[in-house]
Amino acid sequence: MKSIDVIKKHYLESESIITIGTFDGVHKGHELVFKQIKNYTNLLPVVITFKKSPKDVINNNNVKTIYDIKTKEKLINDFDINKIISIDFDNTIKILTAENFIKLLKRHLKLKLLVIGEDSTIGKDKIGKKNGLGNILKKYDCDLKTVNIKRDDNEKISSSELKKLIEMGKITTVNKNLSRDYFIQGKIIEGKKLGRELGYPTANLDYSKEIVIPKDGIYETISILNNKKFLSITSIGNNPTFNEKIKTIETYIIDFNKNIYGENLKIIFKDYIRGQIKFENKEDLITQMDKDLKKVSEEN
């Protein structure tokens, strides 16, 4: 369905407060925006989110996201926002000027107040706070509210920067900037059972190929299985000791021994422990895994 038709399909009867953006990762800057639109109890909060960044679509960049669209919608919904409209930045949206986009939101979503980041712009003519968006909104009996999306140190929080940090394995820094600790989730699938041979049976995660993945290495993690939390250690990489070629995400859940194939697993990343190492033999690998387990157990 064309994105303009998706918006029309969500026709509203009551006046709304709307924010628009990609909101990849749902970081603390986005959190400020969502909390802002919840402050207006007389208006229905609406989030219009692009499935991929308009900038990446325009530049034809096949860029991966921090979270897939369903996960992002769930994270936004956790702010008690129930009206989430996910759209593609397709030609029906690309061609709209800022004024035509405002007219669309006014007519079909009863826009009363638009909330965007301080430096954000809308429309193919890139209109924002500094070049007349407020005046356009007034023509349609609407108002503009901008939010300063910055950290305590006054640095802007950026989804693209957070993706770089994830790929560098800088998990503690990432977690300081997200609204909740970074995680990956998916179904547990059958692997080659290499961990079981070593005395460390692992859950092999079937993860989305659309998302960024932390750099290869060993991580301290928390695993959520059937709403229960377990301390765990997660390995990302291609098992160089066994000369494997395929990158996997495998989690050893501490003090846990059940068959959980087909179950949904959420892995919350807490810290980077070490990089991947190609060991000379299985015994050396087991010795290192014992050290990793001791380190994580002692810290918790």
* Residues designated as active site: 250
Burial of 61 (0-12, 13-18, 19+ CB in 10 A): exposed
SS3 track for the chain? CCHHHHHHHCCCCCCEEEEEECCCCCEHHHHHHHHHHHCCCCCEEEEEEECCCHHHHHCCCCCCECCCHHHHHHHHHCCCCCEEEEECCCHHHHCCCHHHHHHHHHHHHCEEEEEEECCCEECCCCEEHHHCHHHHHHHCCCEEEEECCECCCCCECCHHHHHHHHHCCCHHHHHHHECCCCEEEEEEECCCCHHHHCCCCCEEEECCCCECCCCCEEEEEEEEECCEEEEEEEEEECCHHHCCCCCEEEEEECCCCCCCCCCEEEEEEEEEEECCCCCCCHHHHHHHHHHHHHHHHHHC
